[in-house]
């Protein structure tokens, strides 16, 4: 599992410590085939799910796509992102991650 933390400022100015966690691709134990999955979670947003693919690379790529869609949605709603301890400089989250 890899993780990163940001301070997210919601449109109502409330702060949220946002931890994003991405799992390492693993065989999906439920499919009984060679499908893979990656864990994706953002506990502060109530997200805890698996992203699936036909192989390890696809499951990883789809997880990154899910992460991008999450940030696209939050940014479109007016959220802003900062590194913890550096609330004086907004992070262009899309340029540092994608």
The mean pLDDT of 22-37, rounded to a whole number, is 91
In a domain, 72, yes or no: yes
Q: What is the pTM of this model?
A: 0.90
The mean pLDDT of 68-93, rounded to a whole number, is 97
Nearest C-alpha neighbor of 50 from the set 74, 17, 68, 24: 24
In a domain, 45, yes or no: yes
How many percent of the chain have pLDDT more than 70? 100
Domain that holds residue 18: 2-86
CA 33 to chain centre: 26
Q: Is 32 left (phi over 0), alpha (psi -120 to 50) or beta?
A: left
**Confidence band, pLDDT 50/70/90 cuts, at residue 21:** very high
Q: How many domains does the chain have?
A: 1
């Amino acid at each position: 599992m890899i993780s990163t933390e940001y301070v997210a400022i919601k449109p109502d100015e409330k702060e949220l410590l946002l931890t994003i966690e991405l799992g390492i691709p693993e065989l999906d134990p439920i499919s009984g085939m060679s499908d893979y999955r990656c864990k994706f979670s953002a506990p502060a947003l109530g997200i805890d799910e698996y992203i699936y693919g036909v192989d390890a690379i696809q499951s990883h790529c789809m997880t990154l796509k899910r992460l991008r869609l999450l940030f696209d949605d939050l940014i479109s709603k007016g959220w802003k992102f900062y590194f913890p301890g550096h609330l004086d400089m907004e992070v262009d989250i899309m340029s540092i991650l994608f």
